[in-house]
């Protein structure tokens, strides 16, 4: 069996298992050899054997910071193109991620097309095609996804989600009763 080309290997490091597995499957459908792990330790154990050309790293990991992992993965292979993901974006952490070697910094929720566009800014040859195919979600779709994420974070508790979103509970119920907006 022939070893896959390094540039086509993606390592996804995120402690949110359903999200990580979804990204791994999506990268696989895009023609990448994708591996997913849930911690910095697992990433550092796997990286030397799979030699990823690309890495997607969550900022908050159970055993450390994604920023520290960026530096450690760069030390293993300086050619690895990395994107840092976070649910809580700030300019300071974005600057720090890039300073440590990340190519890009994205706020969740993101999909594979968003990540490919971030990779394209660095080295991905198919980046122009990905940019042409990528559709920016509508404002209504972004609102729907944000509401769903907050609701999931609250364990489905509509009252708590409404407080966090700073809207009336009844208004939130009306928004939830509508069908999701298409991209």
Q: Which helix (H) or strand (E) holds 61?
A: strand 60-61
Residue 51 has φ and ψ, to the nearest 5°, of 45, 70
Using DSSP, how many helices (H) and how many strands (E) does the chain show?
9, 7
What pLDDT shows up at residue 60? 86
Is the pLDDT assigned to residue 34 strictly greater than 90? yes
Yes or no: say if 70 and 82 are a contact pair by the CB < 8 Å rule. Answer: yes
Question: In terms of Cα–Cα distance, which of 150, 129, 130, 146 is closest to 138?
Answer: 146
Is the pLDDT assigned to residue 10 strictly greater than 90? yes
This prediction's pTM: 0.63
Domains and CATH numbers, the chain: 9-127 (3.40.50.2300), 137-177 (1.10.10.60)
Question: In terms of Cα–Cα distance, which of 49, 45, 38 is closest to 72?
Answer: 45
Q: What integer is the mean pLDDT of 147-172?
A: 90
């Amino acid at each position: 069996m022939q070893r896959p080309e390094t540039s086509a290997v993606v390592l996804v490091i995120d402690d949110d298992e359903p999200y990580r597995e979804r990204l791994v499957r999506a990268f696989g459908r895009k023609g990448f050899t994708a591996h997913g792990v849930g911690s910095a330790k697992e990433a550092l154990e796997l990286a030397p054997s799979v030699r990823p050309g690309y890495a997607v790293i969550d900022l908050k990991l159970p055993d450390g910071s994604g920023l520290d992992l960026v530096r450690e993965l760069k030390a293993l292979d300086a050619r690895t193109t990395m994107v840092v993901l976070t649910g809580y974006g700030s300019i300071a952490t974005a600057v720090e991620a890039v300073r440590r070697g990340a190519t890009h910094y994205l706020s969740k929720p993101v999909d594979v097309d968003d990540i490919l566009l971030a990779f394209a800014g660095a080295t991905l040859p198919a980046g122009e095609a990905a940019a042409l195919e990528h559709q920016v979600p509508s404002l209504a779709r972004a609102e729907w996804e944000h509401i769903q994420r907050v609701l999931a974070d609250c364990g489905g508790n509509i009252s708590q989600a409404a407080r966090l979103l700073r809207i009336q509970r009844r208004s939130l119920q009306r928004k939830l009763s509508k069908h999701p907006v298409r991209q």
